[in-house]
Amino acid sequence: MSDLTGKAALVTGASRGIGAAIATRLAERGADVAITYAQSKERADEVVDRIAAQGGRGLAVKADSGDAGEVVSGVEQAVDKFGRLDILVNNAGIFPFGPIDDVPLDEIDRTLAIHVRAVYVASQAAVRHMSKGARIISIGSNLAERVPFPGVTLYSMSKSALIGFTKGLARDLGDRGITVNLVQPGSTNTDMNPADADGADEQRALTALGHFADAGNIADSVAFLAGPGATNITGAVLTVDGGTNA
């Protein structure tokens, strides 16, 4: 499919995992794609190579989503490279884990900076360059709405903020023809949460389908929301969790 030909996208935190899969899928659909990364330039460059292999232009920008200035710079560099911005995917994330007694203040601040502030700041910077038909898509978590095990209070709290953000921004941007949606993955086989790690069987047991998602499943959902078939969808939450929250 080439329904995104001529579009320019930015995917944050996309040197690996779900972000890398999203960036590659958007390129397969015809988009030029910029990505941000915090640490591994080598892995980010590999994603850019995959984008180029699909015939698109790629760009890797070193930007820590915990730093608001670097988030804005990532948006501006994408616009400078492509001359436009049609799709923003707020994907960058971390996974804090532990009981409330053990979570230090700096971890609370960093989690909220990456999962909440960066999404707001990136979207704020992006809409200055967006026109009718543009898309903002954030990656949340099914744990925002249902928490079946302990240790994820901070993570769940931070991801739940994206529900309100999505619905509010959809109202703010509706008259400009820009849609805003949220994809909430469940257990997905990535470096951050391997399907063969300790505790994976317990996660599988919570699903209706009995298996982890592949990062490509999440990428397909994002590509749909970025494409012409989702023109009339905004303020929506798409949960892709194998039925965990059913």
What's the pTM value of the predicted model, to 2 decimals?
0.97
Q: Which of 140, 114, 128, 25 is nearest to 78 (CA)?
A: 128
Token reading at 193 = 């949460």
Query: What pairs with residue 138 in β-bridges?
Result: 90, 182
Count Cβ atoms within 10 A of the Cβ of residue 232 and give its class: 0-12 exposed, 13-18 middle, 19 or more buried. Answer: exposed
Phi and psi at 64, nearest 5°, equal -80, 120
**What single-letter DSSP state applies at residue 39?**
S
Q: What is the CATH number of the domain that holds 209?
A: 3.40.50.720
Per-residue pLDDT of the chain (246 residues; tens, 9 = 90+): 799 999 999 999 999 999 999 999 999 999 999 999 999 999 999 999 999 999 999 999 999 999 999 999 999 999 999 999 999 999 999 999 999 999 999 999 999 999 999 999 999 999 999 999 999 999 999 999 999 999 999 999 999 999 999 999 999 999 999 999 999 999 999 999 999 999 999 999 999 999 999 999 999 999 999 999 999 999 999 999 999 999
In a domain, residue 245? The reply is no
In a domain, residue 2? The reply is no
Print the domain residue range for 63: 8-240
Catalytic residue among 82, 155, 165, 224: 155
Known active-site residue 155: yes
Q: How many domains does the chain have?
A: 1
In a domain, residue 3? The reply is no
